[in-house]
Amino acid sequence: MVKYFSEVVENNAKTRPDHLAYIFMGQETTYKEYNEDINRIANSFLGLGLKPGDKIATLLPQSPAFMNIYMAAATMGLVVVPLDPRFTASEMAALCERTTPNLLISLAYPENIKNNAEDLIRQVHFDHVYSYFGAFDYEGSKPYETLLESSSDPVPENIHPCLDDPLIIIFTSGSTGTPKGAVISHKNTYAISKATVDAWEITCEDRVLVNMPTSHVGGTHDLITVQLYAGATGIITPTFNPEEMLDFIGKYKISFTGGVPTMYRLIFKNCNVGDYDSSSVRTLVVSGEPSPPELIHTMKDNFPNANVVASWGMTETAGFFTFTKPTDTLETVASTEGKPGEGFEMKILKDDESWAKAGEIGELLVKGDSVISSYMDENDNKDAFYKGWLRTGDLGYMDEDNYLHYVGRSKEMYISGGYNVYPLEIESYLNAYPGINTSAIIEIPAEIWGEVGYAFVVPEEGVDLDVEEIKKYCKQGLADYKQPKKIIIRKDIPKTLIGKIAKQEIRKDIKKYIE
């Protein structure tokens, strides 16, 4: 085991110096060159007076800048606070006030990102500001490239962090209110990276498509640190685009890639995969939410050389936590999220605080080296742990083979007429209806029933859905208490950074979306 996470890059630079670390916009960077860039930036940070434990904020897409800064912080014990570019300046300012970063490195292009960043700079004081791909109209800012002008010598040994030291603070989506800062350590990062590489047999010969947001564990851990731990080559692209993803797979011979179900639906809706060379893909991951069997089979049909695998994880587990095997059947991938990784533990806690047996639904509790030991704010730790186990707020059950069957969020479950209703079950049923891209069930107070569900449905592009036909479909396959009381078809629905419907945003202004 390494002493701090970026040591994996140092080791790759020593053992395979000429092996490609990443490719960005056609430009290749070897592990030797990558390690030197990390050292240059770390030495620049030292020159600015930054010290272990200090925080740096980033407002960056997947890019060499983020790759360099992330690992430079890791090598000298700084803590990265990645900001979500879809947040308003005020929302980002609130997070910065809570984390107090000394330095900001931000994209300065296009205009809306630049304006948002400059608004943030006016609201929050940073000792140092750096711009990437453009310049700010701010007197104290400097180009990111100036950070690469320092020595490429390693930083002093005595400033390297320990495995238990924090590496990054990623804020949860805030489904329960104010976003919680999950403090992810070097140990957490190493554990998830090792477990993923071991479970899916990723090697240094793999090429990983790195296209998930840097403010999400899907980007920072499921892709970047997994790739670095394996010593593989990352193909970096700032955003997800269906056509570009397929083009990159053929052009760069991508062998490992993944995404949430929405991403795959967009690919199959907008592209003819047969027009592209996808023969290099050997591992295709689907995660973020359960996938209907139809989607899993479509994935396999369009990527015939790939093993389709599924996973459950969360910010607090630093990413993937359960894994289906590459040899599992498509039915297993469609119906389960796999079993906990090597050294990880999961139990199901029932409402009476007894441990569930196989097949019994309860809350998922997790333990292991990838699980955070604390949130950033002490108040968020209240009720977050149970006898040394992290309470996930997710519902599910384990089968006889210790595979997880995910049911939904415990806080999303509602009671209608005395019956427990799990929105995920209804959403999965709706999403199988022809022409529906995705859906969300929101609980609404009801005088007689207590609560009822409203279905928000997003149609596929160019498809006209009929509410009455969808109601008939629901009557055919759902018990009466599960059937949505109202079905609302909308294209302009708020979504999270990874493409899921942002239920909390709908709840905040429910009347706007109902009318």
Q: What is the pLDDT of residues 334-356, one digit of tens each?
A: 999 999 999 999 999 999 999 99
Architecture in CATH of 190-409 = 3-Layer(aba) Sandwich (3.40)
For 29-162, CATH number out of 3.40.50.980, 3.50.50.60, 3.30.460.10, 3.30.450.70 equals 3.40.50.980
CATH number attached to the domain at 414-514: 3.30.300.30
Domain locations in the chain as residue ranges: 29-162, 190-409, 414-514
Mean pLDDT of 252-268: 91
* Whether the domain at 29-162 and the domain at 414-514 fall into the same CATH topology: no
Cα dihedral 196→199→200→205 (10° resolution): 70
In this prediction the pTM is 0.85
Q: Which of 317, 318, 297, 293 is nearest to 306 (CA)?
A: 297
Q: Return the minimum-mean-pLDDT range out of 170-184, 447-461, 486-500.
A: 170-184
Mapping DSSP to helix (H, G, I), strand (E, B) and coil, where does residue 6 land?
Answer: coil
The pLDDT, as a whole number, for residue 177 is: 53
DSSP string, 28-75: EEEHHHHHHHHHHHHHHHHHTT--TT-EEEEE--SSHHHHHHHHHHHH
How far, in Å, CA of 383 to CA of 178, rounded? 16
Question: What would the pLDDT profile of 120-169 be if each residue is shown by its tens digit?
Answer: 999 999 999 999 999 999 999 999 999 999 999 999 999 999 999 999 99
